[in-house]
Structure 1
């Protein structure tokens, strides 16, 4: 996938389903961290494009790095963006940071494993990629786009329902 944006569709859907138990910011950060190694290979012009970072072992290590750094970066970013509840800065729990980072890194390995022939997700146990070609690249892009759109719709419907005043409470007053 061309760096990160397509991967965010999955994260948006998961955010819609898990709401406060998932950090889209940490998830997004993990997508960037996962693609640093391929970016380095592209800049240098040599190396294995989807190398160790695109294995489940490498993804696990990068998930830990993403959670440890992403928690603080995300809280700082949310403060700068002034996204808060009742004028209190949003704090991301360590559990949410780790869940979000692991979902981010593992989904990245899976999505890239479906699309790229050089991904070896089970390295060093196996050099085979059983995910390669499960769906066409065009279908994979559509799936990522549609999961993002459906996720955004679900997220905003839930947010709207939570903010909507309860009419039955008004009658009791």
Structure 2
């Protein structure tokens, strides 16, 4: 899957459903953290493209890193883009940060596991990828786009309903 943007569709949908119990910023940060290792391989021209970072064990470790760093980065980011105010800053709870990071990293492993033949999601326990080609790449991209659009629709519908009350 091309870097990160397609992965955001599932995050937008989950954000629409869970609202303040989920951080789209931390989820997005976890997508970036997951793709640092493949980016390094592409830049250097050698290595296993979807290596340890694209396993559930590696994803778990990266989710912890993404939650610990993403909580603070997201709070600052919300201030910078003006969603949060210095007088009333939005604080992301640790529970929300960890939930968002783990959902982000695990969904990343699943989505890339469906698409890429070199992903070994259950390594070191198994080298088999039972997710590979569960659906076509075209349908996987459609799934990511449609869940993002549907999630955005739900999110803005809820926002509109709250504004009317």
Q: Report the TM-score when normalising by structure 2.
A: 0.98
**What displacement does 1:84 show?**
2.8
Question: Structure 1: any 5+ residue segments left out of the alignment?
Answer: 166-173
Alignment correspondent of 1:53:
53
Which residue number in structure 2 is paired with residue 27 of structure 1?
A: 27
How much does 1:144 deviate? Answer: 0.2
Q: Distance in 1 between matches of 2:45 and 2:38?
A: 10
Post-superposition CA distance 1:116-162 (Å, at most 9, x none): 00000000100000000000000000000000000000000001111
Residue 89 (structure 1) aligns with: 89
Name the count of aligned residue pairs: 165
CA offset at residue 163 of structure 1?
1.1
| C-alpha spacing 1:156/1:86, structure 2 compared with 1 (3 Å) | farther
Deviations 1:33-90 (A, max 9, x none): 0000000000010000000000000000000000000000000000011103795111
Aligned equivalents of 1:90 and 1:160: distance in 2? 21
**Which entry has the higher C-alpha Rg, 1 or 2?**
1
The structure 1 segments of at least 4 consecutive aligned residues displaced by more than 2 Å after TM superposition are: 84-87
What is the Cα-based RMSD across aligned positions, in Å?
1.1
